[in-house]
Amino acid sequence: MLKDITLGQYFPGTTLVHRLDPRTKILMVIVYIVALFLAKSYVSYALMLAFLVTAVAISRIKPRALLKGLKPLLIIIIFTAVLNLFYSGGEPLVSFWVFTITKEGVINAFFLVLRIMMLVMGTFLLTYTTSPIALTDGLESLLKPLKKIRFPVHELSMMMSIALRFIPTLIEETDKIVAAQKARGADFESGNLFRRAKALVPILVPLFVSAFRRADELADAMECRCYHGGQGRTKMKQLHYARGDFAVLLVGALLLAGVIVLCHFGL
């Protein structure tokens, strides 16, 4: 059921991609996204695709798991594709009634869909191969300079790690509540939109009640262990860049440079 939503799920492993410093991976994703938006041509897309495929292959994440992550976005993807298909000017291919499909439209739609898919798969590769704790640690470390302007970096990352930590718990909880209400004959699958929305009440109320209960308990537990914010707090696992990280970052820089150069030559 809900468990099958793979958003933000971590698949443990020991591959090179898994072992990279989380900061490296975050930086790589940023580089990758920027490059993806700069890429304009078949050649640059091919380059990006090659990078993504290599990364996925090294990580040993099953492509099927990555594709499954796309499922919730299917509507958005189809919507953008259709929009681009019909509303790009240029040389008409086919036309019926008020719609015209142009060659540019087809190309635009194709690249847009490809871009969204690559974007999502690239970021998912990050969350699939990095534990939530490592991810927030990396983010906290990368954002550290912002502390100078009194930005609450530690608090933010603590909030993030708590939120991430509780996503699976809440999903599990939701599954249980759904099952319990179904056992009392609740019907979530039939009826019009209004009825379906109303059918959510028996799920949402217990879910919120338990979320607040959990929040209270967690706050108590943290206070009992003398948590008082980021001041003077040390880390059990210090982050260290290793040789592999520098190599990967170099690849990232080359990728970005390559795409920029290609873009410059109009390729």
Residue 33: C-alpha distances to residues 28, 39, 119 (Å): 8, 10, 7
Nearer to another protein, 11 or 110 (CB): 11
**Closest approach of another protein to the CB of residue 209, in Å:** 7
Q: Hey, which residues between 1 and 20 contact another protein (CB under 8 A)?
A: 3-4, 6, 11
- Select the residue interacting with another protein from 19, 103, 182, 196 (CB under 8 A): 182
Looking at 61-69, 143-151, 216-224, 237-245, which segment touches another protein (CB under 8 A)?
Answer: 61-69
Query: What sign does the CA torsion over 21, 27, 29, 35 have?
Result: negative
Separation of CA 127 from chain center: 6
Q: How many residues bind another protein (CB under 8 A)?
A: 25
Nearer to another protein, 3 or 144 (CB): 3
Question: Does the footprint of another protein cover residue 168 (CB under 8 A)?
Answer: no
C-alpha closest to that of 118 among 172, 215, 49: 49
Nearer to another protein, 151 or 208 (CB): 208
Residue 81: C-alpha distances to residues 38, 105, 115 (Å): 19, 9, 11
> For strand 99-102 and strand 92-96, is the pairing parallel, antiparallel, or unpaired?
antiparallel
Question: Does the footprint of another protein cover residue 184 (CB under 8 A)?
Answer: yes
Which H or E run contains 95? strand 92-96
Q: What span, in angstroms and rounded, lies between the C-alpha atoms of 149 and 137? A: 20
Question: Does the footprint of another protein cover residue 177 (CB under 8 A)?
Answer: yes
> CA Rg, the chain, in Å?
23
**Closest approach of another protein to the CB of residue 210, in Å:** 6
Question: Does the footprint of another protein cover residue 180 (CB under 8 A)?
Answer: yes
Q: Tell me which residues touch another protein (CB under 8 A).
A: 3-4, 6, 11, 62, 64-65, 173, 176-177, 179-187, 201-202, 205-206, 209-210
